[in-house]
A and B are shown apart, each in its own frame.
Chain A
C-alpha cells in the first residue's frame, strides 16, 4: 500500500490516520510553502520511506490502525537507512502514554500551528 500523497522531495512526512486531521495539517504546511507527504499509518510510512526521497522530518501520530506510532518508531530505528530522520510525535496524550517512545520532540494536540511551524523551519 502506498502513502496517500507523495511529492518528489518532501520536507515533511505526516503519519496520521484521521483523514481530516491529516489533510488539515498538510494544507497548513503547504500554505506555508513546505512540501508534504502523508501516510495513514506506520506501515504506509515505512513503505514510503523505503521507496522515496527521505523527508527532513516526520510528524508521527501514535494511535493508528495497522501499525502504531510506537511500532513505526521501533522499526525505523532498526533500519540504518532511515533511522536518523527526526521524528516529532504529535499526540493528545500525556507522559503516561508518550514516555515509551523515543522521539526528537513531542508536541501535544491541539497542535499550536505557530509552534509547529517554528519546529518545521528548523529542519526544512
Chain B
C-alpha cells in the first residue's frame, strides 16, 4: 500500500478489508456497523444507492458473492475524513454476471462519526470481466 505512516491510515485500511470480508460473508451486522447512515454508493451498475437500499439488496438475496478480494492502493486521511482508492475482484453467485470474475476500481470516502470511522461514500466502476473460460469482456460504456 502506498501511504504515509499513521495510525489512522492503518485503521482505515483495516476497516476497508473488514468491509470486504463482511460483504463476502453476507454479514449484515458488520456492514451496518461499518456504513454511515448517510452512505451514498455509485455502483458499478451506474445506480446511486443509499445504505437502506443496499441493505435491502443484501436481505433480498440480490447480492451474493462467491469470492471477493480487495487491494487497498492508497489511503489519505485529513482530520475527520479519509479517502481510499483500490481495486476489487469478485465473483458473484447470482445475476447476469454470475460466475464471471469482475474487476473494479474504486474510491471510498470514510468519515469519523462520534469517534468511529464509517464508510460515507463509494464509487466503483467495472474495468473488465473475465468469463469462466478465461475470455475477457470489455467494460461497457
Residues of A within 8 A of B47 (CB): 21, 24-25, 28, 110-111, 113
Let me know if A122 is at the binding interface, CB within 8 A. no
- Count CB-based A-B contacts (< 8 Å): 54
Residue of B with least CB distance to A112: B48
Q: Is the beta-carbon distance between A111 and B46 smaller than 8 angstroms?
A: yes
A118 → chain B, closest Cβ, in Å?
A: 13
Query: Top 7 closest A-B pairs, CB basis?
Result: A19-B96, A24-B45, A109-B46, A18-B140, A110-B42, A112-B48, A23-B96
- Segment with Cβ contacts to A, from B56-64, B69-77, B78-86: B56-64
Measured CB to CB, the nearest residue on chain A to B60 is A31
Residue contacts A-B, CB under 8 angstroms, 17 given: A20-B96, A20-B97, A20-B126, A20-B140, A23-B45, A23-B96, A24-B47, A25-B45, A25-B47, A31-B62, A109-B46, A110-B43, A111-B46, A112-B48, A113-B50, A113-B53, A114-B50
